[in-house]
Structure 1
Amino acid sequence: MYVVVRVKLEPSAEDAAALGATLHAVNKAANEVSRTAFAHGVKREYALRKLTYAGLKERGLGAQAAQHVIKKVCGAYAVLAGQIRSGFLRGERRRRAESKPIAFRPDAAHPFDDRCLSWQLHAWTVSIWTVHGRKRGIRFSCSGGDLEMLFAHRKGETDLVFRDGMWFLMATCEVPAPPVAEPNGFIGVDLGIANIATTSDGARHVGRGLNRHRRRQAALRAKLQAKRTRSARRLLRKRRRREARHARNINHRISKQVVAEAERTGRGIALEDLSGIRDRERSHRSQRAILHSWSFHQLAEFLEYKARRAGVALVRVNPAYTSRTCADCGHRERTNRVSQARFVCRSCGVVAHADLNASRNIARLGEAAWNAGRESRVPAASP
């Protein structure tokens, strides 16, 4: 499995200027390559290289840098095609995306391979190609665990990223994943907005604090945007992504706790598959901001990669009717869900928290899906 390690660069003023000029140069070249690909309808790497490689070399880019610019453009169009195939882009959004070439920001991240970037891990420095020549001895900082990961498993390309006035390297590490242990039951995880995650063991991670934080951040952004002053714009830049970082930290903590409990008890994790829920749900205008800021996909991704690293089985199940079905008797009725938090079975009379009841149903579906996957599909031998 692949793990991305982020390290912070500490370049001098001269080196930082060279890195900035490099990002601007390669992204300007990527925009030209993208326009060529769009105009000629060529999205494959070999065919696009024949059209653009010579021009990139004339611009002063090195051979490897030119190759990476072409690969970057082809990768962007491949992602766009995948989004269209999956239905993620449809209607007006799809029409707009297909009507013009893909554009890259001047400071968008750019990949470097081992020929363009080398690591001196013992010295905590890197050497990197720039448009102003090779820059050597640029210091970086990271945690001890991340440094050990780089020593043992770094492999492949590294992205150069400029964010909020700071420089980072996103290094790819290939870590061997342990074999998935045979689960002794499953922990069901119900995802929601009022409760970010509820497990079938009864653990409830409430979303009240996160939702309050989001409302406060939205109000502060609106207040600063209304001022239209230089200091207000400076504060807005300073506070960028603060809400996203806060939500990311909460999702990391929740996923770590769930995976640790599953690993401790020898169970697997059953997770509801909420793909496409934003397209399916018809919410009131006042609720749209809450629905679209719900980071369920990020939490699911964190659970998935943490479970893979721990050797814990994880299955995704269809969540249809799990909130209306009684986990005790199996009776399904719409009126069983009395309110957001209350579940009362009309058949057996059991009263439970609605999210806890749904997570128990998800755990049962996960176990059924796991057992169905283990069953042999080979027809029985004829007598």
Structure 2
Amino acid sequence: MKLMVQVKLMPTPVQAAALDATLRACNEAASWASEIAFEKCVQRNFALREHTYTEIRARWNLGAQAAQHVIKKVCDAYATLKANLKAGNLGRPGSRRHRRAVEKPVAFRPEGAQPYDDRMLSWQIDQRRVSIWTTAGRVKDVAFTASPEELATLALYRRGESDLLRRDGMWFLNATCDVPEAPLNTEPVEFLGIDLGIVNIATTSDGEIMAGRELNRIRARERTLRAKLQKKNTPSAKRRLRKRRRKEARRARDINHKISKHVVAEAERTGRGIALENLTGIRERVRLRKPQRATHSSWSFAQLRQFIAYKARRAGVPVVYVNPAYTSRTCAECGHIDKANRVSQARFTCRSCGFVDHADRNSSRNIRARAWELWRRGAQSTAPDPCPGPGRGTGRNRSTTASGARSANPGF
């Protein structure tokens, strides 16, 4: 199983200047190669290399490996763009968003990530040092910091490429680790149903509720503050906006990590599988009033689903996705379906048998029952491919379902 471990680099000012010049040169070369690929309609690695390799090496002073990685990065960007267009993630053909994506070449940010292989990057994990190639030559003894668990994972399982990136003035290396999976539990005693929501982030069929009150309050406060600062539009307001960006996302990611870790640990301890709703495409299916749109758009259910998926794979816990239709209107006791059963956001009262329960817990019990029925029919674990991302081993696994590809324009 592929996991991404992020370590923070602590370069000296001279080392940081060399790294910055390298990233800018690589991404400038990638943007130029992207224009060539767009103009000549050449988007395959070897074909694009014939048109760009010599020029990239001479013009930007890149080594052979760096030049090849730049070309491959461009080809991967166009492959991702093609996948997004095919999946409809960039709007319908003819729409403004679709035209903006296809009518100009993919652009790369000056500080976009650059892949490194073992010829360009060497690790001294016990000394917490790396030696890295730059346009100014090999830079040795670049210090990095990581937790003891991350260091152990790097020492045992690091394989393949690492990505160098700069974010908010800080330098990071995202290292790919090939971590062995635990044997899949093919005979779970039952399933742990998980109902995902906005008011309550997750509710289990055991009756445990992970409330989202704190996270929603933080999001509302951040939205209000952003609006005030954007309206002010002064230099100090812009500095505060830059300082606070990603703060809300980091808090949400931390909460999702904690919830997913708890859910997987509980399923593993009790010998059960995990049952989730297949909520793919819910943003396109649901129509909302204007005051509800910001809250619904910031709902990070996909991230929580990915975290549960890769943690479950690592623990050998099966994950089954079920059809979410009518899970909130169906009585978990008698099976009666009625819109009126959902009295309020939190209260469920069956109009047929009189069963009363918390609405989210009733939904999680229906999810559990559907997953168990699917498993008995011979369905396999369908944990999706978690998207790669930094922090605490956000993973990337092989999948039986398609995952959303990274958007192309406005750049990488």
| Residue aligning to 1:380 | none
| C-alpha distance in structure 1 between counterparts of 2:165 and 2:90, whole Å | 27
The equivalent residue for 2:178 is 174
If you compute each CA radius of gyration, which structure gives the higher value, 1 or 2?
1
CA distance in 2, matches of 1:261, 1:150: 27
Matched, 1:288 2:293: yes
Shift of 1:94: 2.0
Equivalent pairs: percent with the same residue?
Answer: 60
Q: Matched residues in 2 for 1:277 and 1:139: separation?
A: 44
1:241 matched residue in structure 2: 246
Partner SS state of residue 81, structure 1: helix
- Give the TM-score taking structure 2 as reference length: 0.89
| Deviation for aligned residue 1:39 | 1.0
Superimposed CA distance per residue, residues 239-266 of structure 1 (whole angstroms, 9 cap, x where no aligned partner): 1100000000110111111111101110
- Structure 1 residues 246 and 374: alpha-carbon distance in aligned structure 2, compared to 1, 3 A threshold: closer
The match for 1:227 is 232
What is the 5 A alignment of 1:79-228? 79-91=80-92, 92=95, 93-181=97-185, 182-228=187-233
Between the aligned partners of 2:203 and 2:103, the Cα distance in structure 1 is 43
Segments of structure 2 that go 5 or more residues without pairing to the other structure are 381-412
Structure 1: how far apart are the matches of 2:279 and 2:41? 35
Q: 1:379 maps to what in 2?
A: none
3-state DSSP of counterpart to 2:377: helix
**Aligned equivalents of 1:133 and 1:369: distance in 2?**
57
In the alignment, which of 249, 257, 265 is matched to residue 260 of structure 1? 265
1:19 equivalent in alignment to 2:23: no
> 2:328 matched to 1:323?
yes
CA distance in 2, matches of 1:363, 1:64: 50
How far residue 299 of structure 1 moved from its aligned partner, in angstroms, is 0.3
| Structure 1: distance between partners of 2:205 and 2:42 | 51
Of the two structures, which has the highest relative contact order with CA contacts closer than 8 Å and spacing of 6 or more? 2
Against the structure 1 CA distance between its residues 131 and 277, is the aligned structure 2 distance closer, same or farther, given a 3 Å change threshold?
same
Partner residue, 1:71:
72
What is the identity, as a one-letter code, of the residue corresponding to 1:371? R
The answer on 1:313 being equivalent to 2:318 is: yes
Q: Distance in 1 between the 2:337 and 2:261 partners?
A: 33
Partner of 2:274: 269
Match for 1:80: what amino acid? Answer: L
- How far the C-alpha of 1:374 sits from its partner, in A, is 5.5
Aligned partners of 2:100 and 2:357: how far apart in 1? 47
Are 2:346 and 1:341 aligned? Answer: yes
Q: Does 2:42 align with 1:42?
A: yes
Shift of 1:85: 1.9
C-alpha separation in 2, matches of 1:88 and 1:113: 31
How far did 1:229 drift? 2.4
With 355-364 and 116-125 compared, the bigger mean Cα shift is at: 116-125
Partners of 2:131 and 2:291 lie apart in 1 by 51
Root-mean-square deviation over aligned CA pairs? 1.2
Offset at residue 357 of structure 1 (A)? 0.7
Q: Distance in 2 between matches of 1:179 and 1:108?
A: 37
How far residue 300 of structure 1 moved from its aligned partner, in angstroms, is 0.2
Q: What SS class does the counterpart of residue 283 from structure 1 fall into?
A: coil
Secondary structure, counterpart of 1:129 in structure 2: strand
- Inter-partner Cα distance in structure 1 for 2:28 and 2:271: 52
Q: Which amino acid aligns with 1:110?
A: Q
Paired with 1:67 and 1:344, the residues of 2 have a C-alpha distance of 62
Query: Residue 378 of structure 1 corresponds to which residue in structure 2?
Result: none
Inter-partner Cα distance in structure 1 for 2:160 and 2:273:
31
Letter paired with 2:301: F
Query: Shift of the alpha carbon at 1:177?
Result: 0.4
Counterpart residue number, 2:56: 56
C-alpha distance in structure 1 between counterparts of 2:329 and 2:84, whole Å: 32
Q: State the alpha-carbon separation in 1 of the partners of residues 248 and 360 from structure 2.
A: 25
Deviations 1:135-174 (A, max 9, x none): 0111111111111111100001000010111101000000
Deviates more, 1:334-343 or 1:174-183: 334-343
One-letter code aligned to 1:29: A
In 2, the alpha carbon distance for the partners of 1:205 and 1:352 equals 16
- Partner letter of residue 342 of structure 2? R
- Shift of the 225–145 alpha-carbon distance from structure 1 to 2, 3 Å rule, reads same
* Aligned-partner residue type, residue 62 of structure 1: G
Q: Following the alignment from structure 2 to structure 1, what is the Cα–Cα distance between the partners of residues 201 and 7?
A: 30
Q: What do residues 82-111 of structure 1 show as CA deviations (whole Å, max 9, x unaligned)? A: 112222222322222111111110001111
Shift of 1:78: 1.1
Q: Tell me how far 1:113 sits from its aligned partner.
A: 0.4
TM-score of the superposed pair, with normalisation by structure 1: 0.96
